[in-house]
Structure 1
Amino acid sequence: MNNVIAILAAEGEALPLEESPNPLIPPLYDIVWSLIPLAVILWLFWKFILPKFQQVLDEREERIEGGLRRAEQTQAEAKEKLAKYKAQLAEARSEAAKIRDDARAQGQQILADMKAEAQAESDRIVAAGNQQLAAQRQQIVAELRSDLGRQSVDLAERLMGEQLSDSVRRSGTIDRFLADLDRVPGAGKN
């Protein structure tokens, strides 16, 4: 190995400084032979890979745009359905308000009818009570008259000292007494 280093060192001394190759620039034949495969690879890439890549990109773009169109259509349909829903909701609310108003009106009508029926029933009960009261009054007056008549006859028999046994006389006397009693002011009807 020492020999190789010595030989190389001797060769390096033999070359002048301007003729020594630049280590950063490769020889010309390496550049030519490197450009030919690069050109072939670029041509193959341009011919076969780029069209496939462009096709995939186009398909992806088409899918995205189609998805956007479908999303816009779906959004438009959703807005349309929302508008229909709102219209139906407004219609249902107005119908509910109408039903409530009708129910209130019917309730008020039923209440008025019930009040009228209650008033009629009250009037009927009062009229029946008045009739019953008048009948009882007449019955009581009749009983009082007969009682008063009997007591009058008894009193008259005691005063006169004779017996008024004749029923015709007795009823005539009682009738006269009651007629006189009816003529007295304040003793009539109360």
Structure 2
Amino acid sequence: MDEVLAYVAELVAFAIIVFFIVRYVVPPVRKAMQAQQEKIRIQIERAAETEKRLAVAEAKFADAQVEARQEAAKIRDNARADAQRIVEELRAQADREVERIRLRGEEELANRRQHLLRELHAYLGQRSVEVADRLVEEHLADAGARSATVDRFLEELDAMSARDAAAQPSLVASKGES
């Protein structure tokens, strides 16, 4: 009989413990999990938005390059047409003028390209710093996340340096064509 009472008492104590856990522990844990899921969802949305902005900026940059090349081609074509209409005595002067216009067009094209690159780098750098700042603040909230973040950052740096090293020959080749 004492064993049955002890078993019932243990069962009642277990039921009380389960009740308190379900009543007072599970809801805050569930809320914390939902809050964390919401933060992750927001971060994913922000990352997608940033990717879209980057794609738009890259498209604008590509369009600007095409437009600048077309403009340079028009300048060269106009200079050639002018050179053909000029009389023989002025041919040397016209050739110098054509060369000056071509150089100015190329210089302007190079300046525009550099300006666009600087703007794009500044914008992307600013956005990257903002996103990185938010991500770092959120991830460094606990020690496990800090350790994982540092490891992942080091891996990304290694990957970026490998990509940059692989891209260097193609950049040198494309500068040689310009």
Shorter-chain TM band: 0.3 to 0.5
Q: Which has the higher contact order (CA 8 A, sep 6+)?
A: 2
TM-score by length of 2: 0.45
If each structure's helix is expressed as a fraction of its own residues, which one has the higher value? 2
Larger Rg belongs to? 1
